[in-house]
Amino acid sequence: MSDATEKLSSSMAENQEMAIRQVANALHRLNDAVISAVNKGVTVELMRASRFHDEEGAWGDMLVPIIHKQDK
């Protein structure tokens, strides 16, 4: 977790901190998968497909990959 994320999470409830860690871990795995795909000759673009709202003011972006195969 980054310093900014750690500072923000210190004022959050435990379940919120765990949710942030889950997102951070998933993003780390996603970044590893993107690196792996790029190393295999695929261009990966992540685009916001929609935005999820919880009806209490919180929201999050839903992503979809746009894949471009490189001809080698």
How high is the pLDDT of residue 11?
82
Nearest to 44 by CA among 67, 60, 19: 67
pLDDT, tens digit only, all 72 positions of the chain: 566 666 665 788 999 999 999 999 999 999 999 999 999 999 999 999 999 999 999 999 999 999 987 766
Q: Name the 3-class secondary structure at 72.
A: coil
Nearest to 69 by CA among 32, 47, 38: 38
The per-residue b/e assignment along 49-65, b for 16 or more CB within 10 angstroms, e otherwise, is eeeeeeeeeeeeeeeee
| φ, ψ (nearest 5 deg) of residue 70 | -90, 130
Taking the domains of the chain in order of start, what are their residue ranges?
3-69
